[in-house]
């Protein structure tokens, strides 16, 4: 089964549990922390993936690492470990976030401009996008000095290229 399908199935089940217990944010933060540790800490990843270390030993160690978390959070982490899905943690977290965004009408938008937007420009862009999409906007801003002017918006799978270069290329083609 593809990792994205695994991620989606696990995320849906975890989100359902989290929502029923009003702990959506808490579980997301714990999963995200687990993912970051697995992704960036070589020793942690080697420990989790080591075939000679039993799941009981891994659970004991994770229990100490996440000792301040609720039992519900620990049970979810232990379940992921027991089902050998730690390698899919990135997909699980990504799908969990997608579900959260869909249920809360939040849309990820990536905006790329030649220079950083001012606070006023950023607020105006978010406001205009919220009016057009009728959703809350989570804006991620990027700077690309190679852009002469204008900008590029990536909304989901859709890309809106409003750069001067694209407009000039379009003008040249029409002549």
pLDDT score at 60 = 94
Model-wide pTM > 0.85: no
If you write DSSP's letter for every residue of 60-111 in order, what string do you get?
A: HHHHHHTTTS-HHHHHHHHHHHHTT-GGGHHHHHHHHHHHHHHHTTEEEEEE
Q: Within a 13 Å sphere around the CA of 160, how many CA atoms are in the beta-carbon half?
A: 10
pLDDT score at 29 = 92
pLDDT score at 63 = 93
pLDDT score at 2 = 65
Strand-pair category, 158-161 with 136-143: unpaired
Q: What is the mean pLDDT of each run of 10 residues along the chain (175 residues)?
A: 79 93 91 93 94 93 92 93 92 92 88 91 92 90 87 86 78 78
pLDDT score at 126 = 92
* Of residues 109, 3, 166, the one with CA closest to residue 117: 109
Q: Angle at which helices 3-20 and 89-103 pack, to 10 degrees? A: 50
Sign of the alpha-carbon dihedral angle for 25, 29, 34, 39: positive
Tokens of 98: 């997608």
Q: CA 129 to CA 150: how far, in whole Å?
A: 16
Q: In the chain, what are the domains?
A: 3-102 (1.10.520.20), 105-174 (no CATH)
SS3 call for 140: strand
* Of residues 107, 116, 106, 122, the one with CA closest to residue 142: 116
């Amino acid at each position: 089964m593809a990792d994205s399908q695994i991620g989606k199935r696990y995320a849906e089940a975890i989100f359902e549990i989290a929502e029923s217990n009003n702990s959506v944010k808490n579980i997301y933060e714990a999963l995200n922390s687990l993912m970051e540790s697995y992704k960036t800490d070589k020793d942690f990843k080697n420990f989790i993936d080591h075939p000679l270390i039993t799941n009981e030993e891994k659970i004991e160690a994770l229990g100490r690492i996440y000792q301040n978390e609720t039992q519900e959070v620990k049970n979810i982490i232990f379940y992921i470990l027991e089902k050998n899905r730690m390698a899919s943690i990135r997909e699980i977290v990504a799908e969990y976030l997608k579900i959260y965004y869909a249920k809360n009408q939040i849309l990820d938008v990536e905006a790329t401009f030649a220079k950083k937007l001012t606070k006023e420009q950023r607020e105006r862009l978010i406001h205009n996008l919220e009016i057009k999409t009728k959703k809350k906007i989570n804006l991620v801003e990027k700077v690309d000095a190679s852009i002469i002017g204008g900008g590029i918006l990536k909304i989901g799978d859709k890309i809106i290229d409003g750069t001067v270069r694209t407009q000039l290329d379009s003008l040249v083609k029409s002549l």
